[in-house]
Structure 1
């Protein structure tokens, strides 16, 4: 009876504490008020599931135990390949623990990565990967304030579908999965927008994953905190999925302006990420893309401190230099314009090793300027810490490499180099060796120029793929030796010796080869100039000899020419004084005609006088006949003479 009374009395505080919201009191019981204050009510956390609430009540407070038992059953079903029971068990676990993020993460990973490998057909594997992504989507809906789940969903779409062994088939199946696209549209993932579509104008898994990640970023910017994940890793994935998309389409043979455009968009996203404020383990945020700006600000502060402190700063710096090894001291003391390349490298390293005691500088500064010096020292220390943190975070995600890769890949020559390698590999596979060799050699020349401008690219997967192409090229030409002028000789030597290429080592070897090549080129040019000078000298000697010989032989031709002119003049005079034979005969004939005509005229005049006027006409006729007849006779007589 006493226990019964105690239970009845306890119902009063239980009612006051557990009264649901809207159940009589203004804000419900105390627990309901606290849930509303901290936004942890069921309606605030996600979708309300009646089945989930029923399962919780049915477990009588033992849902943790029930979830553990079901977890073990799910493992047994996976081992036994009972896939339907496995999925049903996973749904029951999710109903019991809807707000436990790890349930959704682990079991989605189990479906997409572990269960999918149990199938031989890639289409069945894709279905299990899809089951995993859909399971995660349910978890996102049940947990609206879980950025980690949203991020994990975007990770699945990119990493699992885009980097697995079946990535080619998975990417194609995803682009053709209309049912999944409709489900994503219902989740407000705009798969029909240009942001989600690839070169084929179909949804691309990398770009869809990026949209999921952007949704997570928006959630964090609305005030939700990132839990169980570093902000650096959380924020880098979205921009990187753009980069991975560009790499994927190039590997599939998209090697034109579409690839360039993809890299340009990727570069824009990566730079935007570099300008994002990223929380750190320190009391400040950093921007990965502003390292150079921090270094510049630090140099300005140091220069200002040098002006304020004067000799105090110079003395502190001199003491710091004295602690360096002699070789570094010698490099720093040598004027910059007189340093060799080796000394310049040593001097650069020494500059970073010089550790000036800025506190001592501030203390040694004049009293009137000491406060300003102290403030500058604090600013320098703060900048040092920010620079150190920024450099560390950049190294964690290899920020400089991805930044440089995006810049290099959007150039036309890089796309052309990849296209040449792609075509060379295809020609080599088709046994068109001459064509393949020509394409290989053309591509290697372009890649050498790219590596010279962007040496950091020698450390990525592209370098490994290029080395494999070089190996196939050597098989095609049936030779393992590379000539000294081979454009990628340094790259081949380093890859062959170490299996990988270090950026600094490549730059050093490449520079050494360039120096040797320039030296050899200078020697060849000097030899060529010497040969040209000798040839010019020999030509001048030949020309002088020819001119001398010409001057000696000019006198005889002049005299002969004078004699010829004199003979010609004499001949002309003789021709003018002596008529030709034909002209003489014609003159004789004319003289004979004149004499006969004269005689005929005299006889006619005598007859006219004696006969009178009556006979004048007859006399005239006879005279005419007589005049014509002798002329004919003369012509007949002259003709034979002319013919003779």
Structure 2
């Protein structure tokens, strides 16, 4: 049957109206308390993917999405192409405008914020000659990332990336000296950071000159991301090990930066102490792994100790006649446990399971520690916080200044004093011979060689072994490095014991000094009391004869007649009566 055009249109209209009913039931928005809305609204709430859950709501972004009429992907692709063209043509204002449009179309696509912020801070900034303009473009990149964090509050990697920018780009660029100074004086940026919840006015963010430091501010951003993860947000597109190591490492980078800038006193020592504490806290953090358990990088020694205890008990249960377990690369503990006597077999099986689990944890911990060179950073923080290390750096710094001023005698004396201290440090911490500071020390040795006008060093040169190991100022070989890594642990423990013994010796000396002072005070007090008693006794002896003489004189005066005194004028003198014959 042929239908007229009007009939077909009416049928289409009825079908469309009928389809609106299920669409409304599926997409009905939530009406508030007690009304969860349609099925799509319930799913958004269940998986926390509603616009309000993802981040800050942007009306402009929603408008652009609707205006694209389902062609958002095509529009975004065209805008990305335009952004590249504007970058090539050096149309910076248009580039930033296009980036804002891309962000409005794709606000929850993390790569938009990461890639374009990196583009501004690392690529576009290098197109300017003046370091001030470069800094402004770096700041544009960090602010672009901050905007992305606001619109994606459950994206820890964006927060991590922001902290990385503040530390790495501003603190490791060729213009790092200028960038760090400009950042410390950028009050507008500081106020914006305060509004984002980054306490740039706190001691945690301030450097040695009581101004915000880019490394420490970046660390605060990173710890903000750690708080997100600790609250239950998952880390995406990044390994947990790399995610958690950066914050503590920024403390170390801060300490290195202020030393490079000439802060070589108790402020640098305090910065290294806080860096060591931060790295130790990182070692106590539970880090997820590819296995079914988490690990703590700082508990390798504890795991090894527990394994030794379990293994000793396991040997006692399984018997000495069994082959040596330590001679096998991957021993089958369970097989040995099943050969034990029946009365101890269950306990042996339990121990076998525990030992195998400890083996897995030890292997995983060692592997993760090697990935980030955990032992090196731990050793560096421990060595750098010592007073002698700060003194050695101060001497090198002063020697370089004297050398630049052509004060060669002074420079040579300072170099030699510093080299003697560095030799002691390298003896106690061999792993530092492959540090970046060791490469700087090589340059100082070169300048010292020029200052003494000789390429040969005396036989008693403190760093002779170091120079020989470097192979005529070449890089250290991997074999030497591995040897240093294996011997470092014993050296560190020995140095720790020496420091503890020195501390105990200082405490004993202080206690003895206090005891001597107390005894001296008591003796002085006793001597003063004895002297006072002797003085009082002498005074009493002198007063006693004088009193006796006064008493005798008084008695004589009382017994003498009044007439003997001759009397005074006008007194009547009475004559005695004559006696009868």
Tell whether the structures are fold-level matches, with TM greater than 0.5: yes
Q: Indicate the larger mover: 116-125 or 480-489.
A: 480-489
Q: CA deviation at 1:61?
A: 1.0
Q: Determine if the alignment matches structure 1 residue 112 to structure 2 residue 121.
A: yes
Aligned residue number for residue 561 of structure 2: none
SS at structure 2 position matched to 1:367? coil
Q: Is structure 2 residue 251 aligned with structure 1 residue 275? A: no
> For residues 98 and 54 of structure 2, what CA distance do their matches in structure 1 show?
23
> 1:223 is matched with which residue: 221, 225, 232?
232
- Give SS of 1:311's match: coil
- Could you tell me how far apart the structure 2 residues matched to 1:253 and 1:190 are? 26
**Displacement of 1:506 after TM fit?**
5.8
Change (3 A) 1:507 1:72: closer
Provide the C-alpha distance between the structure 2 equivalents of 1:163 and 1:199, rounded to a whole number of angstroms: 19
CA distance 1:5–1:216, shift in 2 (3 Å): same
Aligned: 1:438 with 2:413: yes
1-side partners of 2:34 and 2:82: how far apart?
43
2: CA distance, partners of 1:20 / 1:508: 64
Ranges of 4+ aligned residues in structure 1 off by more than 6 Å: 507-510
Aligned residues: 476
Work out whether residues 213 and 238 of structure 1, in 8 Å CA contact, stay in contact via their aligned partners in 2: yes
One of 425, 447, 458 as aligned partner of 2:400: 425
Name the structure 1 match of 2:22.
13
Q: 1:360 to 1:114 in 2, by over 3 A?
A: same
**Cα distance in 1, alignment partners of residues 144 and 312 from structure 2:** 59
2:149 pairs with one of 140, 150, 169: 140
User: Which stretches in structure 1 are left out of the alignment for 5+ residues?
Assistant: 322-352, 511-644
Contact 1:316-1:356 within 8 A present in 2 as well: no
Counterpart Cα distance in 2 of 1:220 and 1:360: 42
Residues 526-547 of structure 1: CA deviation (Å, up to 9, x unaligned): xxxxxxxxxxxxxxxxxxxxxx
Equivalences for residues 9-88 of structure 1 within 5 A: 9-22=18-31, 26-88=35-97
**3-state DSSP class of the match of 1:258?**
helix
Alpha-carbon displacement from aligned partner over 1:567-617 (angstroms, at most 9, x marks no partner): xxxxxxxxxxxxxxxxxxxxxxxxxxxxxxxxxxxxxxxxxxxxxxxxxxx
Question: 2:438 maps to what in 1?
Answer: 463
Query: SS of the counterpart of 1:20?
Result: coil
1:93-492 → structure 2 map (5 Å cutoff): 93-313=102-322, 315-317=323-325, 321=327, 356-492=331-467
Deviation at 1:479, TM superposition (A): 1.4
Superposition deviation, residue 24 in structure 1: 12
Aligned counterparts of 1:207 and 1:432: Cα–Cα separation in 2: 37
**How far off is 1:6 after superposition?**
2.1
Q: What is the distance in 2 between the residues matched to 1:485 and 1:312? A: 56
Contact kept, 8 Å, 2:431 with 2:485, in 1: the verdict is no
What is the CA-CA distance between 1:357 and the residue it aligns to? 4.1
**1:115/1:82 Cα in 2 relative to 1: closer, same or farther (>3 Å)?**
same
Offset at residue 5 of structure 1 (A): 2.5
Q: Are the aligned partners of 1:312 and 1:365 in contact in 2 as well (CA < 8 Å)? A: no
**Stretch moving more, 394-403 or 470-479:** 470-479
Change (3 A) 1:188 1:24: closer
Distance in structure 1 (CA, Å) of the matches to 2:451 and 2:68: 70
Structure 1 residues 153 and 506 mapped into 2: Cα distance closer, same or farther (>3 Å)? closer
Counterpart of 2:568? none
**Distance change in 2, residues 1:296/1:505 (3 Å):** closer
For residue 281 of structure 2, give the secondary structure of its aligned residue in structure 1.
helix
TM-fit CA distance, 1:79: 0.6
Query: How far does residue 4 in structure 1 lie from its aligned partner after superposition?
Result: 2.8
Does the aligned pair in 2 maintain the 1:20–1:32 contact within 8 Å? yes
2:475 to 477, 488, 499: 499
Larger Rg: 1
State the Cα deviation string for residues 75-130 of structure 1 (Å, max 9, x = none).
Answer: 10011010000000000000000001110000000000000000000000000000
1:413 to 1:430, Cα distance in 2 relative to 1, 3 A: same
Distance 1:23 1:378 in 2: 53
The 2-side partners of 1:441 and 1:93 are apart by: 60
CA contact (8 A) 1:316 1:357 kept: no
1:272 CA displacement: 0.3
Alpha carbon RMSD of aligned pairs, Å?
A: 1.8
Q: Is the 8 A contact 2:114 2:145 kept in 1?
A: yes
State the SS of the aligned residue for 2:470: helix
Would you say the 8 A contact 1:316–1:361 is kept in 2?
no
Per-residue displacement from partner, 1:425-463 (whole Å, max 9, x unpaired)? 111111111111111111010001001111111111011
| Residue segments in structure 2 that go unaligned for 5+ positions in a row | 1-7, 489-581
Checking the alignment, whether the CA contact within 8 Å between 1:445 and 1:487 is kept in structure 2 is yes
Aligned residue in 1 for 2:538: none
Is 2:29–2:38's contact at 8 Å kept on the other side of the alignment? yes
- Per the alignment, residue 524 of structure 1 pairs with none
Alpha-carbon distance in 2 for matches of 1:402, 1:192:
28
Deviation at 1:360, TM superposition (A): 3.5
- TM-superposed CA distance for 1:355, in Å, is 5.4
- Matches of 2:459 and 2:361, distance apart in 1: 46
Distance 2:255 2:121 in 1: 24
Partners of 1:34 and 1:492 lie apart in 2 by: 67
Taking a change above 3 Å as real, the CA distance of residues 179 and 38 of structure 1, as seen in their structure-2 partners, is: same
How much does 1:358 deviate? Answer: 2.5
